[in-house]
Amino acid sequence: MSRPLHRGASGVKVHGHGDDKWDSQMKDKTEREEMEKRVSLDHGGTLASRLPIRVLFPDNSPSKYGGPENGFASDSLSSRSRQQFIMLMLKLSLVVIIILALTGSFWWTLSISSSSQVQIFHGYRRLQEQLVSDLWDIGEISLGASRLKELEFCSPELENHVPCFNSSDIQDGAYDRHCEPSSWENCLVQPPLNYKIPLRWPTGRDVIWVTNVNITAQEVLSSGSLTKRMMMLEEEQISFRSASPMFDGVEDYSHQIAEMIGLRNESNFREVGVRTILDIGCGYGSFGAHLFSKHLITMCIANYEASGSQVQLTLERGLPAMLGSFTSKQLPYPSLSYDMVHCARCDVDWDSKDGKYLIEVDRVLKPGGYFVWTSQITDTQTFRYKKENQKRWNFIQDFVEYLCWKMLSQQDETVVWKKTSKSNCYSSRKPDSSPPICGKGHDIESPYYRPLQACIGGRKSRRWVPINERRTWPSRAILNKSELAVHGLGLDDFTEDGINWKMAVKNYWSLLSPLIFSDHPKRPGDEDPLPPYNMLRNVLDMNAHFGGFNSALLEAGKSVWVMNVVPTDGPNHLPLIMDRGFVGVLHDWCEAFPTYPRSYDLVHAAGLLSLEVTKKPRCSMLDLFSEIDRLLRPEGWVIIRDMATLIESARTITTQLKWDARVIKIEDNNDERVLICQKPFLKRQAI
């Protein structure tokens, strides 16, 4: 096949041979064109097989020879193909991105662990606490600029002030407890004129400064009580060492009690399960001071006394004590708290009020525990000329029998009873026996100054375990799984709490130095500061939780005792604390603590501010801190651990109290801070 251009181009007419030659040339040309066409088709098929992308498009391209003559047909096809390819790639990429995004979101949702959920919850809780803290701060600021000024000093008459007991209400010869809002007075209680820092333990157990306590020389010389021991006034000191070589009253007396129980001596008290002792009307704490060396802890309770206070002198000696009275209310201890209750001429008329005082002793006494009573009433030799004593003695003997107590022994003026270990003893009594068993509504495990009850409590408690069946001290301090289950606590939580407090105590102790207030404070964990900056003996834990702070201090070998306070607003772990062999008390921190000023060397509070702000505030933070100042000895320490916002609020209040203070950041914990404070020794100037 020839094109017209070729045909018209010859323009020459050839005659003769020319026609054959022309035909031959045209034939050759036609064959070449046909061959080229076949080659072209063959190459086109090969390219199609080599480029798979072509399969995606319809093969509707014009042929080489049917296309426009300007030569752009193949270029236009290639451009459109590339555009379609790019658009397809973009669509595919968009689909892949959407699929990956949905898949990632799904797996992210599944990957939120329980710990992440806890963090979210804690974040929400922090917002709540921040809100409450801000509201508290607004309330403090709204009271005026005067609240930011330093507090004034109290009048000198208040140097031994106890707000809830300084009243004119006296019942049965004792001050009754009345805590009214008006009893608060936000001022700084000054120490006595010639106050001196107490001597270090154990020297301070036997010798105290006479100017540190409110007692007259006549009261010192006339203190003839058996457990007060003979005190000697030596210039500026009171000595509690015995002056008589032939009779050491307390040691011989303790030995006598042990023999009456059936033991060799008082060192064997732990063998029968005795660890905690409630000493009613303790004299000046000599009974507890002697037993402390036997690893026994004695809590002294006595009535408020304006002068010559048993509680004040006992605390000054570095021994556990608090104000408490049997006059009308139950003691702020759980049922089944103590292994022994002791009363040596404690001036309690046990036969009065139809035996309610004995019922209260029975309530706080553990199963199998001992009640030791020393009194002239029990001396049968006096019955001949004191018929009234015989009548009272007969009533008490009959009454304790209905309480299921058994008399173990009686020697001279001392009697020892043992409370039953079997709870079914009460059901074996005669019908209509008095006192009755408390009903469910009256048998409260941890009453808070509730009126005295006329029924027997604690019998149905899950904590009814005889003392001789408990592990002996110090193993008793670490409760096992079954013992913790009684208190609704798991072993893992209890163990973790103990580990945390061991580390905290190590860090706390190293911070108790004036260096903490310098620009380069000691680092936590360094060696203990040198004396006199570690002169700690009396410790108050304002929010004791499980008693872990107490346990960690003892394990660290610190010569301290701890008053474990469980706030009435929070979870009641006081029964658990008492079962561990520690001492403690329930308390409402919007009320004054039942003790005299300058009672404690260290006040500790972990989480107390958070606990108080979550409740409806009945008192301000300033009220709380002014009470801490009243309880704290000069040069005493305060350690408060809480949320960072609350610590900052507390820090501003310390300036009003004239304390030295520093905020410490807790490693790996951005939510909490530790506030370390020291109360200065501001000496009163003579007028």
Three-class HEC string of 528-594:
CCCCCCCCCCEEEECCCCCCHHHHHHHHCCCCCEEEEEEECCCCCCHHHHHHCCCCEEEECCCCCCC
Matching residue, tokens 């129980």: 261
Is 50 exceeded by the pLDDT of residue 198?
yes
| 315, 538 contact by CB (below 8 A) | yes
Res 380: pLDDT: 83
Q: Which CATH superfamily is domain 475-520+531-679 in?
A: Vaccinia Virus protein VP39 (3.40.50.150)
Answer for the pair 321, 294: CB distance below 8 angstroms, yes or no: no
Question: What confidence score (pLDDT) does residue 11 get?
Answer: 39
User: What phi and psi values does residue 417 have, to the nearest 5 degrees?
Assistant: -110, 155
**Maximal C-alpha separation, the chain:** 186
Contact predicate 567/130, CB 8 Å? no
pLDDT of 327: 80
Q: Residue 510: its pLDDT value, please? A: 81
**249-459: what CATH class?**
alpha beta
Of 333, 358, 372, 360, the residue nearest 578 (C-alpha): 333
CB 457 within 8 A of CB 363: yes
Q: Give the CA radius of gyration of the chain.
A: 45
Nearest-angstrom CA–CA distance, 563 and 579: 15
> What CA–CA distance (Å, rounded) separates 654 from 646?
13
Place 54 in a pLDDT band, splitting at 50, 70 and 90: very low
Tell me: the pLDDT tens digits for 362-418? 999 999 999 999 999 998 888 878 889 999 999 999 999 999 999 999 998 999 999
Contacts of 656 (CB under 8 A, 6+ apart): 147, 148, 149, 150, 151, 622, 625
CA distances to 222, 284, 658 from 219, rounded to whole Å, are 5, 12, 35
Kindly report the average pLDDT of the chain as a whole number.
80
pLDDT above 80 for 175: no
Fold equal for 249-459 and 475-520+531-679: yes
38 pLDDT band, cuts 50/70/90, is very low
Q: Where are the domains of the chain?
A: 249-459, 475-520+531-679
Residue 224 confidence (pLDDT) above 90? no
Span 502-553, pLDDT tens digits: 999 998 888 887 767 765 455 555 555 454 444 799 999 999 999 999 999 9
pLDDT at 213 exceeding the cut of 70: yes
DSSP 61-97: PPPTTTS-TTS-HHHHHHHHHHHHHHHHHHHHHHHHH
**pLDDT classification of 105: cutoffs 50, 70, 90:** low
Distances from the Cα of 341 to the Cα of 438, 532, 563, angstroms: 21, 36, 18
Poorest-confidence range of 33-37, 116-120, 233-237? Answer: 116-120
Q: State what percent of residues in the chain have pLDDT above 90.
A: 54
Band the pLDDT of 433: cuts 50, 70, 90. confident
Q: What are the CA-CA distances from residue 66 to residues 61, 63, 401, 528 (Å)?
A: 10, 5, 129, 103
For residue 585 the two structure tokens come to: 């008390």
Confidence (pLDDT) at 443: 82
The secondary structure element, H or E, covering residue 410 is strand 405-411
Cα 392 to its chain centre, rounded Å, is 46
* Structure confidence by residue, pLDDT tens digits, 543-601: 999 999 999 999 999 999 999 999 999 999 999 999 999 999 999 999 999 999 999 99
